[in-house]
Structure 1
Amino acid sequence: MEWHESVFDLIDMRSFSNLWFWLALSVVWSTTSHWILGVPFDLVQRASRHGGQAEQDLHDIVRINTNRILYISGVSGMWILGFTCFALTSIAILGFYFKVEFCQAMFLLGLPLSFVGLLSLDTARRIRKNGLQGEALIRKLRLHRVFVQLIGIVAIFVTGFWGMYQNLTIGVLGG
């Protein structure tokens, strides 16, 4: 037996039966719903409750991150879109046509995150276009977070069911 066979026997490389995949999935969605447009949500809450310097800090960080997101999308948005579509399509084909479980897992993680990226771009455009400040900005960031959490809930639900299906299928058929 080769050394790499021993390693793969010791570490289960199937994604949906691996605890590390589920931990990574939960960390990704927890982090994604906490950092809204690159702004930690506790700063949004603190600005809403206390105003003053916390609200000024929120305006500053939202302005910086909104400008950054819109600049990147303006300069290389089409390249990012093309590469993302190519990568997601390649991973989907490898995962679902060629039955590579790791690629299925990455697709089920990557596709919803791409929707979050598009939602963030739209939110950044609306913030700049409407010049949102104060309570209107806080309300927009909270609404954005709710949509991110909804995307995360659906993604975790679909990934969970697909993972259960994969584990039952592989368990019944014997791999």
Structure 2
Amino acid sequence: MNLGGQIFELIDMRSFSNLWYWIGLAVLWSTTSHFVMGVPFDLVGRARRKGGQFLIDMNHLAQIKARRLRDVYARAGVWIIGGSAFVLTILAVTGFYYGVEFAQAVFLLVLPMSFVGAMRIRLAYKIEHEDILDEALCRALTRHRFGIQVIGMISVFLTSIWGMYQNMNIGVLG
């Protein structure tokens, strides 16, 4: 067997039976639920409990992130949404119509993140236009994090169900 064959045998290229895919999925959702609008959630907790400089830091960081996100979407929002829809469509067709497991795996990572992105944009506009600060900002970031966690739980559940189905299906056929 040549070196390339040995490498591909060592590293399972099927996505749903690959440990690295599941580690990546866990890291993706852990990181996404920790950094809410770019603000580390432990800072939100400290700002709520201790106030003072932590509250000021959280306000400034959330305002900066919201303004940056709003500016990006004001300039290129249509292109970002169109490109995202194009990529999601290509992944869905390639994965589920043509049966490419890698495209299915990427689609199951990217689709829920598009919902998180839409929530993030909505919160950014709300922070900018309603001038949300202090305790109201803590509540908004906490609600936003809860929404992310709900999407994450549903996503991980559906991905694991689909992954088990794929592994059982290929196990029977292979």
* Structures share fold, TM-score greater than 0.5: yes
The offset of 1:3, in angstroms, is 2.9
Q: Which residue of 2 aligns with 1:80?
A: 80
2:99 corresponds in structure 1 to 99
Aligned residue in 1 for 2:51: 51
The C-alpha deviation readout for 1:18-49, integer Å capped at 9, x for no partner, is 10000000000000000000110011001000
Please tell me the residue identity of whatever aligns with 2:30. Answer: S
Q: Are 1:34 and 2:34 matched, yes or no? A: yes
Give the TM-score, by structure 2 length. Answer: 0.98
Cα drift, residue 4 of structure 1: 1.9
Percent pairwise identity: 51
Superposition misfits of 4+ residues, deviation over 6 angstroms: none
RMSD: 0.8
How far apart in 2 are the matches of 1:131 and 1:41?
A: 20
Q: Partner amino acid for 1:141?
A: L
Query: 1:114-129, aligned counterparts within 5 Å?
Result: 114-129=114-129
Which residue pairs with 2:165 in the alignment? 165
What letter is aligned with 2:14?
A: R
SS in 2 for 1:12: coil
- Structure 1 residue 2, shift from structure 2 partner: 3.8
Q: Residue in 2 aligned with 1:14? A: 14
User: What residue number does 2:133 align with?
Assistant: 133
1:150 — aligned with what?
150
How many angstroms apart in 2 are the aligned matches of 1:47 and 1:28?
A: 25
Unaligned 5+ runs, structure 2: none
Cα shift at 1:10: 1.7
What letter corresponds to residue 142 of structure 1 in structure 2? Answer: T
